[in-house]
């Protein structure tokens, strides 16, 4: 299986599933279980290559702003969602996340830009084909995002890096009526406050080092 065939399968599954996570994963599972083991392993390899390409600070910052906070696991699930959108959209998101993501319409971006199930569908299909007689080859992802790390909690930095997303999803975009009615903080502010509390409890060292996650990917709670 080559890369073009990989993207064709992703796009067909996404279309059949109408971009719903469960439906998309089910459609992809049905397609993968009809493959030979070597092709399934190749599909998994292409998937991990795409996830590795998307593992950048630039995209993580966009996901953080869009979703009102984004952990390391959350960023993996966001990248899986980006893959599920198909090659053209995936490439556009990587090239200019601010422009591409701000052009999409989301009612609940933190719920609509995640595709965790895609992480397991390949392994499930492999188990269906091979049973307990074989194991899917491990494919490791890079530990650290590519590019220059920056502070996701610095409003000036984020507004400058993602002007379109900031206008649409930054703290000032959440609606004045909500603040006037009940004084609730925005989701973005809540995420910052919660993460700040965690840093105070931990002494701040873990957040700076980014080495406290089990899966090896850095935590962007307060990147500098």
> Which of these, 70, 77, 22, 20, lies nearest to 54 by C-alpha position?
77
- Report how far residue 141's alpha carbon sits from residue 42's, in angstroms, rounded to the nearest whole number: 15
pLDDT band at 134 (very low <50, low <70, confident <90, very high): low
Within a domain: residue 162? yes
Within a domain: residue 204? yes
Within a domain: residue 218? no
- Report how far residue 102's alpha carbon sits from residue 175's, in angstroms, rounded to the nearest whole number: 17
Within a domain: residue 41? yes
> What is the C-alpha radius of gyration for the chain, rounded to an integer number of angstroms?
19
Within a domain: residue 115? yes
Query: If you average pLDDT over residues 13-36, what whole number do you get?
Result: 93
Within a domain: residue 224? no
pLDDT digits (tens, 9 = 90+) for 165-217: 999 999 887 544 444 444 444 344 444 444 444 444 444 444 343 344 444 44
Statement: the pTM of the whole predicted model exceeds 0.85:
no
- Report how far residue 29's alpha carbon sits from residue 126's, in angstroms, rounded to the nearest whole number: 9
186 or 33: which leads in pLDDT:
33
Q: Tokens 């080559």, residue?
A: 2
For the chain, what is the domain count? 1
pLDDT for position 132: 65
Domain assignment of residue 69, given as a range: 3-137+146-209
SS3 56: strand
Q: Tokens 């610095």, residue?
A: 154
């Amino acid at each position: 299986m080559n890369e073009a065939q990989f993207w064709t399968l992703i796009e067909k599954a996404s279309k059949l599933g109408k971009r719903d996570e469960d439906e998309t994963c089910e459609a992809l599972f049905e397609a993968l279980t009809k493959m030979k083991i070597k092709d399934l392993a190749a599909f998994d390899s292409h998937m991990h290559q795409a996830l590795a390409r998307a593992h950048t600070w630039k995209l993580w910052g966009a996901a953080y702003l869009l979703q009102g906070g984004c952990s390391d696991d959350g960023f993996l699930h966001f990248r899986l969602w980006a893959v599920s959108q198909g090659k053209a959209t995936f490439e556009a998101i990587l090239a200019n996340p601010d422009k591409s993501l701000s052009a999409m319409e989301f009612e609940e971006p933190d719920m609509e830009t995640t595709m965790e199930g895609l992480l397991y569908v390949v392994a499930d299909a492999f188990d269906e084909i091979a049973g307990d007689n074989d194991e899917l080859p491990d494919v490791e992802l890079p530990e650290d995002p590519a590019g220059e790390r920056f502070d996701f909690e610095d409003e000036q930095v984020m507004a400058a890096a993602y002007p379109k997303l900031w206008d649409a999803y930054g703290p000032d975009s959440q609606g004045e009526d909500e603040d006037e009615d009940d004084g609730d903080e925005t989701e973005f502010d809540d995420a910052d406050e919660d993460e700040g509390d965690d840093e105070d409890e931990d002494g701040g060292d873990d957040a700076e080092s980014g080495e406290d996650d089990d899966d090896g990917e850095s935590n962007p709670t307060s990147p500098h």
